[in-house]
């Protein structure tokens, strides 16, 4: 029997790519999203890639009655991959209560609904390397202390992990938290990719939007960090590699192969790249030169962080495959497809 998996935030960037991997892996996928930062059209795009449009319902996870009704209709859900959350570091600094209310209440409601089901579904949680703050040692592994968060967004991920851990200790829930670093790039088909609503908060869509002419210049926040070129260093991972790890983690939970009821894994490439390195990679792969302006540091940003992925490589049997140039080339292909109207509705015949 095909296993039924719920993906919350499944029309979002990482969520939509993971839905593709799940469907291609033989799972039946249900998608929930409130479309606050995504488009329902993405469900159609997923269907174009996989040949099967997943079931979609527009529900806000903070609406407990609506979520309860959904779970009552789909009581045979066996696994949940939880992406739905607000995710912009800078925005969380200026709107902290909005982030706490949305990210934590949605998780509480979701766990309540999961625990009410007879099958005791498992959970893969979308966590973040922001839980480490600025690590004392690099690369950072899963045993590194969880430090005081540098942003409300990062704190919601810390608290969410604590909520999941406590719920596991009190009941029958099993879960894996995936602490991933910086996902970039787009699906090889060019049909789905990162789709920020309004001004981008992440580097790569800002790069591609500047290249396509949506932005007049690219601002780099901080060039006085203690790094080789003065700009922040991050571990950038292709979104497809990241999505495949979610399927591997889900398989691990459903097969009962985990080391206990709760596990945590870093997802990255194990290599850090500076902001300027990413810009140079884009310029190389696209053949374009970007107008760059240095700007002051941005609140909430850590100086440098990249992953020790040993546990994910050995225990999950997963490893990131794609290199930075390939990531940037796929992001540029997606941006050009957006400019050509790939997500626009065709005219009525």
Decide if 198 is inside a domain.
Answer: yes
Decide if 107 is inside a domain.
Answer: yes
Decide if 232 is inside a domain.
Answer: yes
pLDDT (0 to 100) of residue 130: 87
CA distances from 334 to 21, 216, 337 (A): 18, 19, 5
pLDDT (0 to 100) of residue 348: 46
In order along its 349 residues, the chain shows pLDDT tens digits of 689 999 999 999 999 999 999 999 999 999 999 999 999 999 999 999 999 999 999 999 999 999 999 999 999 999 999 999 998 888 899 999 999 999 999 999 999 999 999 888 999 999 999 898 888 899 999 999 998 888 899 999 999 999 999 999 998 799 999 999 999 999 999 999 999 888 888 899 999 999 999 999 999 999 999 999 999 999 999 999 999 999 999 999 999 998 999 999 999 999 999 999 999 999 999 999 999 999 999 887 889 999 999 999 999 999 999 999 999 999 999 999 999 999 985 544 4
| CA dist., res. 217 & res. 221, Å (int) | 13
Structural domain total, the chain: 1
- CA 178: distance to chain centroid? 10
Decide if 349 is inside a domain.
Answer: no
Question: Exposed (0-12), middle (13-18) or buried (19+): which is 202, by Cβ within 10 Å?
Answer: middle
Decide if 21 is inside a domain.
Answer: yes
pLDDT (0 to 100) of residue 346: 52
HEC readout, the chain? CCCEEEEECCCCHHHHHHHHHHHHCCCEEEEEECCCCCCCHHHHHHHHHHCCCCEEEECCCCCHHHHHHHHHHCCCCCEEEECCCCCCHHHHHHCHHHHHHHHHHHHHHHHHHHHCCCCCCEEEEEEEHHHHCCCCCCCECCCCCCCCCCCHHHHHHHHHHHHHHHHHHHCCCCEEEEEECEEECCCCCCCCCCCCCCCCCCHHHHHHHHHHCCCCCEEEECCCCCCCCCCCEECEEEHHHHHHHHHHHHHHHHCCCCCCCEEEEEECCCCCEEHHHHHHHHHHHHCCCCCEEEECCCCCCCCECCECCHHHHHHHCCCCCCCHHHHHHHHHHHHHHHHCCCCCCCCCC
- What's the pTM? 0.95
| CA dist., res. 27 & res. 254, Å (int) | 12
Among 156, 132, 154, residue whose Cα is nearest residue 142:
132
Q: Are 101 and 36 in contact (CB under 8 A)?
A: no
The residue behind tokens 């329902």 is: 40
Tokens of 333: 């292909």
Q: Which structural domain, as residue segments, surrounds residue 154? A: 4-339
Decide if 200 is inside a domain.
Answer: yes
Catalytic residues: 153
pLDDT (0 to 100) of residue 345: 59
Decide if 346 is inside a domain.
Answer: no
pLDDT (0 to 100) of residue 273: 98
Decide if 344 is inside a domain.
Answer: no
**56 has which bridge partners?**
31
pLDDT (0 to 100) of residue 344: 81
CATH at residue 307: 3.40.50.720
């Amino acid at each position: 029997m095909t296993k039924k998996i719920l993906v919350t935030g499944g029309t979002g960037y990482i969520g939509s790519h993971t839905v593709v991997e799940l469907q291609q892996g033989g799972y039946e996928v249900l998608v929930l999203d409130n479309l606050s930062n995504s488009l329902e059209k993405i469900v159609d795009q997923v269907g174009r890639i996989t040949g099967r449009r997943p079931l979609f319902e527009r529900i806000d996870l903070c609406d407990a009655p609506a979520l309860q009704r959904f779970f009552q209709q789909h009581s045979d859900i066996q696994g949940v991959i939880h992406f739905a959350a607000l995710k912009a570091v800078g925005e969380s600094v200026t709107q902290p209560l909005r982030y706490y209310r949305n990210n934590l209440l949605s998780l509480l409601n979701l766990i309540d609904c999961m625990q009410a089901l007879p099958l005791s579904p498992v959970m893969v949680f979308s966590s973040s390397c922001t839980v480490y703050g600025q690590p004392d040692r690099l690369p950072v592994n899963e045993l590194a202390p969880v430090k005081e968060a540098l942003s409300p967004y990062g704190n919601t991920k810390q608290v969410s992990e604590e909520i999941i851990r406590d719920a596991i200790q009190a009941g029958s829930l099993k879960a894996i938290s995936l602490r991933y670093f910086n996902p970039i790039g787009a699906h090889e088909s060019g049909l789905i990719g990162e789709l920020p609503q309004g001004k981008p908060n992440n580097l790569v869509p800002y790069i591609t939007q500047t290249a396509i002419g949506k932005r007049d210049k690219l601002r780099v926040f901080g060039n006085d960090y203690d790094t080789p070129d003065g700009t922040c260093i991050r571990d950038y991972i292709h979104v497809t590699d990241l999505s495949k790890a979610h399927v591997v983690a889900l398989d691990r939970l459903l097969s009962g192969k985990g080391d206990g009821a709760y596990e945590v894994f870093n997802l990255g490439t194990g290599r850090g790249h500076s902001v300027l390195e990413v810009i140079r990679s884009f310029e190389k792969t696209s053949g374009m030169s970007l107008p760059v302006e240095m700007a002051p540091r941005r609140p909430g940003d850590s100086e440098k962080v990249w992953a020790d992925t040993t546990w994910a490589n050995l225990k999950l049997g997963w490893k990131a495959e794609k290199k930075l140039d390939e990531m940037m080339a796929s992001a540029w292909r997606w941006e050009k497809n957006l400019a050509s109207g790939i997500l626009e509705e065709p005219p009525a015949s």
